[in-house]
Amino acid sequence: MSKLKIAVQKSGRLHDDSMKILKEIGISVDNGKDQLKASARNFPLEVFYLRNGDIPQYLRDGVVDAAIIGENVLIEKGDDINIVEKLGFSKCRVSIAVPKASKVKSLKDLEQKRIATSYPNTVNYFLDLAGIKANLHIINGSVEIAPNIGLADGICDIVSSGSTLFKNGLKEIEVLLKSEAVLATSPRISAENQTIINKIQFRLKSVLKGRENKYVLLNAPNEKLDRIVEILPGMNSPTILPLVQKGWSSLHSVINKNDFWNVIDELKASGAEGILVCPIENMVL
Ligand SMILES: Nc1ncnc2c1ncn2[C@@H]1O[C@H](COP(=O)(O)OP(=O)(O)OP(=O)(O)O)[C@@H](O)[C@H]1O
Ligand SMILES: O=P(O)(O)OC[C@H]1O[C@H](OP(=O)(O)OP(=O)(O)O)[C@H](O)[C@@H]1O
Ligand SMILES: [Mg+2]
């Protein structure tokens, strides 16, 4: 039986969450700190632990069939690679930043300026769109230091909290793109391995949907139930079961985790008691 070869970052920001999501979809693999390859124990899958930046080439060549990778790296190096599913972790943006005192306010002001970056294709794409010509200095790390040492007038790099920019006296002037970890596939994937990816995608959707929602249980007097049902924007009609205590019922519903905090006060004011909110592991739709 064919095994799907999937690349996961060997170490770095994507590694732990990538292994965690594989585990959450029921695939057990040895963690790769000291090894480059591992087989799943209960699924036709082989994991290759690789550098994030090398993965687009491996996908293109068909050396691996699929990968968990930062979307920003695919935009930079893999525009022919298919994104199957966004995974909701390692969220960041790729932005242009300049020293706080700089007069550069937008892409337009970068004409003939020096920009340090590890993302030359991305920067060039956006500069071309804006009709701007600038000089790129390609460096592989510590990009934020470049303006301070006189190497560049601005930078293009990953921003998340913004603290690295802040510590280096830089301000973000333009967000070029937003990124998160994604499941991507090789253009050379076989039909047989595509069916394995389809299974993985189905499981991922169930886990990701579960993460977005909470299972809510509460008790309420029967005469208050209609109002409470109105407040709860449930997936389907909620389940209502009678309690031993006469005139009271227990109500169960699935609710978006963000919506829950918006309605909690109203639920209490409408007579809901003993409210329990539980995580959902999987939501199969
Ligand atoms: N500060 C951050 N916050 C959130 N996500 C980030 C951040 N920095 C990077 N990422 C995301 O995580 C990915 C991996 O980043 P990391 O710094 O671990 O590796 P790398 O140096 O890009 O890759 P390599 O594995 O090739 O050494 C990036 O491509 C990006 O998608
Ligand atoms: O906005 P922030 O939350 O400060 O995050 C942004 C920083 O995170 C990344 O570096 P990382 O820590 O991955 O170091 P690296 O350059 O060694 O990859 C990125 O290259 C930025 O420098
Ligand atoms: Mg990094």
Give CA angle at 37 (35, 38), nearest 5°: 100
Residue 135 has pLDDT above 70, yes or no: yes
- Span 94-113, average pLDDT: 96
d(CA 250, CA 244): 10
pLDDT in tens, 18-75: 999 999 999 999 876 678 999 999 999 999 999 999 999 999 999 999 999 999 999 9
d(CA 273, CA 130): 57
Q: CA 239 from chain center: how many Å?
A: 32
Ligand 2 proximity of 131 Cβ (cutoff 6 Å): no
Q: Whose CA is closest to atom 11 on ligand 1?
A: 90
The ligand 2 atom at the shortest distance from the C-alpha of residue 161 is 3
Q: Indicate the average pLDDT of the chain.
A: 94
The ligand 2 atom at the shortest distance from the C-alpha of residue 141 is 16
Sorted by sequence, the CB contacts under 8 Å of residue 119 that are 6+ apart come out as: 72, 76, 94, 156, 157
Ligand 2 mean position to 7 CA, how many Å? 22
ipTM over 0.90: yes
- Span 192-219, average pLDDT: 96
- Span 65-90, average pLDDT: 95
Residue limits of CATH 3.30.70.120 in the chain: 213-279
CATH number of 92-179: 3.40.190.10
Ligand 3 mean position to 162 CA, how many Å? 13
State the pLDDT at residue 48.
Answer: 96
Ligand 1 proximity of 160 Cβ (cutoff 6 Å): yes
What proportion of the chain, given as a percentage, has pLDDT over 90? Answer: 88
Residue 196 has pLDDT above 90, yes or no: yes
Residue limits of CATH 3.40.190.10 in the chain: 4-90+180-189, 92-179
Q: Which CATH class is domain 213-279?
A: alpha beta
**Cross-sheet strand order for the sheet of 92-99:** 135-138, 114-117, 154-159, 92-99, 170-179
Q: Which CATH class is domain 4-90+180-189?
A: alpha beta
At residue 283 the predicted structure's pLDDT band, cuts being 50, 70 and 90, is very high
Diameter of the chain measured on Cα atoms: 78
Ligand 1 proximity of 185 Cβ (cutoff 6 Å): no
Q: Whose CA is closest to atom 15 on ligand 1?
A: 13
When comparing pLDDT for 71 and 262, which is higher? 71
pLDDT in tens, 113-125: 999 999 999 999 9
State the pLDDT at residue 22.
Answer: 97
Of 32-36, 107-111, 134-138, 252-256, the poorest mean pLDDT is in 32-36
Quickly tell me which residue has 């005139």 as its tokens: 247
The ligand 2 atom at the shortest distance from the C-alpha of residue 118 is 20
